[in-house]
Chains A and B, each alone.
Chain A
């Protein structure tokens, strides 16, 4: 799978005036093979980082001559990086294709010749420029020269190629700003049949396929990103369905998926990768819509949590929108938003962050991506640094010590206009035989946005549906990402001209979009159309539903102070001056229940 757009699209993108005006990134390529086809991929990746790359190729098989000073206008002092492709078949026929016929003495001589060659090329480049040197290492032989015996020998062809890579590494790491690019890793990830293109090897001495070159360019850019100070510093994580499966506020501590067995093992492996990044100096932060206590309960009490409190430098666990929380985290940690990577399973949340904060690198791990989450994080290279310092090792702890010291002010997010771009559609309907099971299930499962937390069976709901004293309403949400299904329930009970909201709840995946306000307004229209003059709503406190305590007061209800108890509050609203129905930021609201008559 080629991770890049088709070539004409890349060309079009790179030829815009804006692309040409970006800061220059100067690359030179020394090679003993044809690799010109890598150019569009290098330039595309540079563009994604805000650079206009200029790639100059040295002459075919002029590697040594150019390295030691034979090329004018190639290895200039102001270069950013020199990419070296020294392909084994061109470098040493003896090792690549004549290996079986080599004596021990000949092999020793050839190895020494190559060691000197590596040394001279690297030194030669360094004499001309201080640019970063990226030497593409040797790939292991696919079919070792001595067949199955090769792997048994300390000096077989595979072992010899590994030794040559060791020599290269020693040569490179002896100099500042010179690095070995892991070609064996690129080969393994792409797979040999896709990595090599034998046609162009024979026609043009171009061994690598376009797909291989795309991956190699990606690997090179992990270095170039770090060189240019574009490496990311901070990983910000959502919690529910990202760090563990399920929703802790709904499923409870014992109900979430995390542990050694499927499906919890997927999340455990993802956490292991996060802990690895922590040890590599990446700052870890949390940004999630939860009750804070629920999240810390998982950290403190779940036996399979690998990520611990001491890994977390800062957090925003609340019901604010994510862009505001990310801004606050950046301010608290004193890092730029462009140093952050944000991971969420929700396309809605990821989309909002991408739109509001394009400088944050957002990874959306939803659906089938879920299983690859560890690999996505491990392969992204966003946090890569070619060297690890002592400070890197302790950075996470340093930031944690700082956490909470500063209090940041959040700026408002243009949530409404984002919601408009999603073309959100609400459908409100009455309970019937098709929806009764889902309605009952929601009353049983929903904990967080649930005003009264009354649990009902299907039989209870069926009774309400049949009763003339009740209205059972559901709300369904869809947007450009898809259909969320029925996400909310409201049960109204009538006593003469008095309506009471027996139940009002919304699934947490539909929160943060203004659905609750619109659903309440529509429910009140229904109540008034039934002849109700006033409506009451109750907030019954549980361990989970603190976020709903201010809901009625926030929507024009007055509290009846006399009815207040330690675990309950009652609110009242007259229905005489109800505002007319309004679609707000929804493209459409379907109301089959708007009429007074019931079918």
Chain B
């Protein structure tokens, strides 16, 4: 998304990061799924509103 790692916080969200649109959201989900070996459901994906909710959801997923 063109954002430096140190600028990302738990409260980063589409509201605070301008480039975080629906397409970037999809790319983010795909990258996280690949990196952590997990699979989100369609409802999971829409429930992810910011970095914090992504981390929380990831914590509830059994990795492979």
Contacts and interface: CB of A to CB of B under 8 A. Distances in A.
B30 A203 contact: no
A7 B23 CA distance: 16
A203 B26 contact: yes
Interface string B24-64: 00110011001100001110011000000000000000000
Contact of B23 (A6, A8, A34, A198): A34
Contact of B27 (A8, A36, A202): A36
B35 A8 contact: yes
B34 A199 contact: no
Nearest to A209: B30
A6 B34 contact: yes
A15 to B, nearest CB: 12
A199 to B, nearest CB: 4
Nearest to B46: A203
A513 interface: no
A481 interface: no
A204 to B, nearest CB: 5
A553 interface: no
Contacts of B27: 36-37
B30 A210 contact: yes
A206 interface: yes
A210 B29 CA distance: 11
Contacts, number: 34
B9 interface: no
A456 interface: no
A200 interface: yes
Interface in B13-28: 22-23, 26-27
Nearest to A206: B26
B41 to A, nearest CB: 7
Contacts of B34: 6-7, 210
Contact of B31 (A7, A34, A203, A204): A7
A204 B23 contact: yes
Nearest to A57: B23
A199 B35 contact: no
Interface residues of A, number: 14
B45 A37 contact: no
A200 B45 CA distance: 9
A330 to B, nearest CB: 40
A202 B41 CA distance: 11
Nearest to A199: B42
Contacts of B41: 199
Contacts of A34: 23, 26
A206 B24 CA distance: 13
A195 to B, nearest CB: 15
A199 B46 CA distance: 10
A57 to B, nearest CB: 10
Contact of B45 (A7, A199, A210): A199
B31 to A, nearest CB: 5
Nearest to A7: B31
B33 to A, nearest CB: 9
B26 A204 contact: yes
Contacts of B30: 7, 37, 210
Given A37-B26, A203-B26, A6 B45 contact: no
A203 B27 CA distance: 13
A8 B35 CA distance: 9
A36 B21 CA distance: 13
Contacts of B26: 34, 36-37, 200, 203-204, 206
Given A36-B27, A37-B30, A204 B22 contact: yes
Contacts of B42: 198-199, 202-203
Q: Which 3 A-B pairs have the closest CB atoms?
A: A199-B42, A7-B31, A204-B26
22 contacts: A6-B34, A6-B35, A7-B30, A7-B31, A7-B34, A7-B35, A8-B31, A8-B35, A34-B26, A36-B26, A36-B27, A37-B27, A198-B42, A199-B40, A199-B42, A200-B26, A203-B22, A203-B42, A203-B45, A204-B22, A206-B26, A210-B34
Interface of B: 22-23, 26-27, 30-31, 34-35, 40-42, 45-46
Given A37-B27, A37-B30, 14 more contacts: A6-B34, A7-B34, A8-B31, A8-B35, A36-B23, A198-B42, A199-B40, A199-B42, A203-B42, A203-B46, A204-B22, A204-B23, A204-B26, A210-B30
